[in-house]
Amino acid sequence: MELITTSLLCFLACSAFFLFLLKPFSSNKRANLPLPPGSLGWPYIGETFQLYSQNPNVFFASKQKRYGSIFKTHILGCPCIMISSPEAAKFVLVTRAHLFKPTFPASKERMLGKQAIFFHQGDYHIKLRKLVLRAFMPEAIKNIVSDIETIANDSLQSWEGRLINTFQEMKTFTFNVALLSIFGKDEILYREDLKRCYFILEKGYNSMPINLPGTLFHKSMKARKELAQILAKILATRRQNQQDHSDLLGSFMGDKEGLTDEQIADNIIGVIFAARDTTASVLTWILKYLGENPCVLEAVTEEQRSILRAKEECDEENKALTWADTKRMPITARVIQETLRVASILSFTFREAVEDVEYQGYLIPKGWKVLPLFRNIHHSSDFFPEPEKFDPSRFMVAPKPNTYMPFGNGTHSCPGNELAKLEMLVLLHHLTTKYRWTVVGAQNGIQYGPFALPQNGLPIRLRSHS
Ligand code: HEM
């Protein structure tokens, strides 16, 4: 017994000694690694002006051409490493995701709410993701296809004959669908109040975080408080009625471990934020690309008319679109896929290294921001021949792994992607079978706000088309 104890102690002592030797050696070894190539620009300002004085994608593409698929820079006061190969994106977002935490400006965190899903890693994040995915998986959203259809038809009818700003109108459509997915049919009761507060809140997203009366930020914070009060009222009514709901609020309230009211409010505001402008921007780009590619528009229209014809021929009285119908739209689905690639509205995302990390012989220092550049990967001719060409047929063959990430990848990838695709298909069904549109004015420019958008939000005039 004594021998075993002595041997064990000896073993532990030796192991501790080796670990002692090894630990500083391994971190020193990392610290001695070179940083990726690139320039950090001017002290503090870094290369912020170079990034923002031109189309940011030109900045990323020219850096990649000069330094390769991993390079360093310094923007908005932060040292950054930008990566633009599928392997590096997979390393940061999937296989070593635990070494790279999500990071956002403090003002965004205050406005959306600290407890929103985007800002977390670990157990709390896993729990939230499970609840969000439960509400947005195909099984759950199958039941709201006809309600989305009603919202789409109402929107299209309200645009007819008018000169509209496509992006602004699409925002109203995607906002109403987001509310439907969160509050179910109750949404109509709260739509106007929620809309009023949310519109004030969003004006502050990119403002200076100065919380003094009169500032945009202050107004936003006030609107945020009011939003939380409206949500508290909705929660109280639901608790009183004790009914089960399959929407997002139902999923949050039905969790046995329970979310606090504050956690629910932060995540509902967060989901509206994630769902609205993203989907509205993609829809705006779809209208632009369809307008520029009449043969593609014709093919989509024909596909959608064939669905209408099949419904007319069938005996069922209810002619509303179904989930199954939306699975019979491969051409339209490819138009959506190709638009997500060409427009790449989220050109990149942000992470922060939680410790010194080695990647391909380079050091990614702890605390540095790491930006996987989705757009560069989507626009690489290695993976997408003639990358600037809008060609939905390229998706008849599945893209290579990790080369197509419009909804991100890994632990924080988009849980709303099925809903986003569904609402776009439903809107396109009614748009192409009943209407035609003309773009007003020459619209070749792109604006960033913060997503890439056709200039002036793509003003169009819509008319009915039999
Ligand atoms: C075409 C429209 C959309 C696009 C292109 C898009 C894209 C993305 C991307 C790239 C991410 C990952 C960001 C990262 O890794 O840092 C993300 C996350 C997220 N998206 Fe979407 N999204 C869209 C629509 C939606 C919709 C409709 C919803 C909700 C109904 C939604 C909810 C979310 C949420 C909650 C997250 C955070 C997930 C997490 O942190 O675990 N998105 N989205």
Q: Which atom of ligand 1 is nearest to the CA of 120?
A: 40
Residue 194 Cα to ligand 1 midpoint, Å, equals 21
Residue 346 Cα to ligand 1 midpoint, Å, equals 10
Are 329 and 425 contacting, i.e. CB atoms less than 8 angstroms apart? yes
Please tell me the distance from the alpha carbon of residue 459 to that of residue 466, in angstroms, as a whole number.
22
Residue 228 Cα to ligand 1 midpoint, Å, equals 22
The residues with which 369 forms a beta bridge, in sequence order, are 80, 352
Q: What are the pLDDT tens digits along the chain (466 aa)?
A: 443 444 444 444 444 444 444 444 445 567 789 999 998 988 878 888 777 777 778 888 888 999 999 999 998 889 999 999 999 999 999 999 999 999 987 777 888 899 999 999 999 999 999 999 999 999 999 999 999 999 999 999 999 999 999 999 999 999 999 999 999 988 888 899 999 999 999 888 777 778 888 898 899 999 999 999 999 999 999 999 888 899 999 999 986 768 999 999 999 999 999 999 999 999 999 999 999 999 999 999 999 999 999 988 887 778 899 999 999 999 999 999 999 999 999 999 999 999 999 999 999 999 999 999 999 999 999 999 999 999 999 999 999 999 999 999 999 999 999 999 999 999 999 999 999 999 998 767 888 767 889 999 999 999 998 6
Q: Which atom of ligand 1 is nearest to the CA of 409?
A: 15
Residue with CA nearest ligand 1 atom 18: 414
Residue 350 Cα to ligand 1 midpoint, Å, equals 13
Residue with CA nearest ligand 1 atom 16: 349
Probe target for ligand 1 pocket from 171, 347, 407, with the most ligand atoms within 8 Å of CB: 407
Residue with CA nearest ligand 1 atom 27: 275
- Per-domain residue ranges of the chain: 84-437
| Neighbouring residues of 160: CB distance < 8 A, sequence distance ≥ 6 | 435, 462, 463, 464
Please tell me the distance from the alpha carbon of residue 219 to that of residue 213, in angstroms, as a whole number.
8
Coil, strand or helix at 80: strand
Residue 247 Cα to ligand 1 midpoint, Å, equals 17
Q: Which protein residues are within 6 Å of ligand 1, measured from CB? A: 102, 117-118, 129, 132, 136, 178, 181, 271, 274-275, 278-279, 282, 345-346, 349, 406-408, 412-416, 419-420
Q: Which atom of ligand 1 is nearest to the CA of 132?
A: 35
Element (H, E) at 453: strand 452-454
Please tell me the distance from the alpha carbon of residue 382 to that of residue 437, in angstroms, as a whole number.
35
Q: Which atom of ligand 1 is nearest to the CA of 117?
A: 40
Which residues fall in the annotated binding site for heme?
Answer: 414
Q: Which atom of ligand 1 is nearest to the CA of 340?
A: 5
Residue 408 Cα to ligand 1 midpoint, Å, equals 8
pLDDT at 316: 76
pTM of the predicted structure, to 2 decimals:
0.91
Please tell me the distance from the alpha carbon of residue 178 to that of residue 417, in angstroms, as a whole number.
12
Residue with CA nearest ligand 1 atom 31: 416
Q: What's the chain's length in residues? A: 466
Q: Which atom of ligand 1 is nearest to the CA of 267?
A: 35
Residue 29 Cα to ligand 1 midpoint, Å, equals 37
Q: Which atom of ligand 1 is nearest to the CA of 411?
A: 41
Please state the CATH superfamily assignment of the domain spanning residues 84-437 in this structure.
Cytochrome P450 (1.10.630.10)
Sort 466 into a burial class: Cβ within 10 Å, 0-12 / 13-18 / 19+. exposed
Residue with CA nearest ligand 1 atom 9: 407
pLDDT at 12: 40
Tokens encoding 49: 């002006």
Probe target for ligand 1 pocket from 341, 412, 414, 419, with the most ligand atoms within 8 Å of CB: 414
Are 128 and 117 contacting, i.e. CB atoms less than 8 angstroms apart? yes
Residue with CA nearest ligand 1 atom 11: 414
Estimate to the nearest angstrom the gap between the alpha carbon of 4 and the chain centroid.
58
Are 108 and 207 contacting, i.e. CB atoms less than 8 angstroms apart? no
Please tell me the distance from the alpha carbon of residue 337 to that of residue 358, in angstroms, as a whole number.
34
pLDDT at 238: 93
Q: Which atom of ligand 1 is nearest to the CA of 102?
A: 16
Which residues fall in the annotated binding site?
Answer: 414
Probe target for ligand 1 pocket from 117, 119, 278, with the most ligand atoms within 8 Å of CB: 278
